[in-house]
């Protein structure tokens, strides 16, 4: 239930970033809004929890049917899962996976905000260059 509440909050915050225009074209993407949403700890937690659920679905895969191909020292049983194997090398793999996912969402949020800031700056630069080109064109035209 908590995951769904977090998801609804995420959609509420990020929804305007994916709003469609009235012509039904491609969704518009506001990098600043997306970056801001992804920088919110509640959103990060919700996305990380969703990734946890998808990972758990994979990690519950039983490797037993292939156990007879493994080295007997691996001690694979028919009910051994990929998660069991991961836990052998890292008992904290679930916590580490969750923290890695959350960190990745946070980094993506920061990157989106930086992209938005840089995009605005590049637009200003483009406008300055366009203005100079217009001035130069006008000067050239006045010489003719």
Query: Please, which residues have CB within 8 angstroms of residue 112's CB and are 6 or more apart in sequence?
Result: 31, 32, 34, 35, 38
Structure tokens at 139: 């000067």
Q: pLDDT digit string (tens) for 54-108? A: 999 999 999 988 888 888 888 888 899 999 999 999 999 999 999 999 999 999 9
CA 78/CA 19 separation, integer angstroms: 49
Question: CA torsion sign, 12 to 13 to 14 to 17?
Answer: positive
The whole-chain average pLDDT of the chain stands at 84
């Amino acid at each position: 239930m908590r995951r769904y509440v977090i998801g609804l909050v995420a959609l509420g915050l990020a929804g305007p970033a994916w709003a469609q225009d009235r012509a039904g074209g491609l969704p518009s993407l506001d990098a600043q809004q997306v970056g801001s949403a992804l920088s919110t700890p509640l959103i990060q937690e919700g996305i990380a929890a969703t990734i946890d659920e998808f990972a758990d679905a994979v990690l519950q895969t039983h490797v037993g049917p292939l156990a007879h191909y493994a080295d007997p020292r691996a001690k694979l049983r028919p009910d051994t899962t990929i998660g069991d194997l991961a836990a052998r090398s890292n008992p904290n793999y679930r916590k580490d996976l969750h923290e890695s996912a959350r960190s990745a969402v946070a980094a993506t949020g920061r990157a989106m905000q930086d992209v938005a800031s840089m995009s605005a700056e590049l637009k200003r630069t483009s406008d300055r260059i366009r203005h100079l080109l217009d001035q130069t064109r006008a000067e050239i035209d006045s010489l003719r």
